[in-house]
Amino acid sequence: MQSMNRKVAIVTGASRASGIGTAVCLSLAKAGVDVFFTHWTAFDRIEGNGEERDFPDKLCDQLKSFGVRAEHMSLDLRVDKAPATLLNEVKETLGPPSILANNATYESPTDFRTLNTDLLDKHYQVNNRGTLMLSVEFAKQYEKSFQNKHEGRIINLVSGGPDPNNLAYIATKGMTIAITEPLSVALLPIGITVNSINPGPTDSGWMNEDTKSHLLAQFPAGRLGKPEDVAKVIAFLTSDDSYWLTGQTIRCEGGFLGK
């Protein structure tokens, strides 16, 4: 059962201390929202930025220190049953969720010489199929649990720009941008808003010093984007005040020039 009628949020892809997913979890917890987050260590260990041992448990304890409830699980969005498995676990442990932050992603650098169907499929399985099916299953459960309420929120993390070395990633994130508006029209009648956020290059642990130096000159604010910048916007989008804002792709990137 929900505690003190607090909202319950799902945040996918929170597995590193410096990641956007972690910043989103913390921002929501500070706002009094119960948080259920997912992680997929196998990706971090083999293809991502490295595994942080015991991090999920540490983040869970940190979230609870704000006086909210928190749970987590390992989840591979490529698996067909992953959306149902996740939603059932959230409902059993924290109650029916009304917020979904689709942050989990698959990214592997690909240019026109290295792009192949296998790499494209890996991106599609997580960034599109997994994300969209989780969103629609979330909406079905919300419709049953929150009749005549307007508290539902889906927020997608997307990307874009002229990066020739990230073709598969940008292509699949482009599909998520494309589905944002029609999905928002479909779900607003049952009380769910749908928006996407493009955070631009964010210093979330993947940049080396050369990359930071190259990108810094393209930020008019004179600093790189931080995970907290995005998390603050997501916190607003999950609030009651954001209800009239739906179907949008928000560029939360500090005026990044995108070169």
- According to the model, what pLDDT value does residue 1 have? 37
pLDDT score at 49: 57
What tens-digit pLDDT sequence spans the chain (259 residues)?
A: 344 468 999 999 999 898 999 999 999 999 999 999 999 877 665 555 556 678 999 999 999 999 999 999 999 999 999 999 999 999 999 999 999 999 999 999 999 999 999 999 999 999 999 999 999 999 999 999 999 899 999 999 999 988 899 999 999 999 999 999 999 999 999 999 999 999 988 777 777 788 777 888 888 888 888 899 999 999 999 999 999 999 999 999 888 887 5
**Would you please indicate which residues are annotated as catalytic (active-site) residues?**
169
Contacts of 205 (CB under 8 A, 6+ apart): 16, 17, 18, 19, 49
Would you say the pTM of this structure is higher than 0.85?
Answer: yes
Domain segments of the chain as ranges: 8-251
Asked whether 48 and 35 are in contact (CB, 8 A), the reply is no
In CATH, which superfamily holds the domain spanning 8-251? NAD(P)-binding Rossmann-like Domain (3.40.50.720)
Neighbours of 93 (CB within 10 A): 15
Per-residue pLDDT at 71: 98
User: In which residue are the tokens 């989008």 written?
Assistant: 237
Q: What is the pLDDT of residue 6?
A: 87
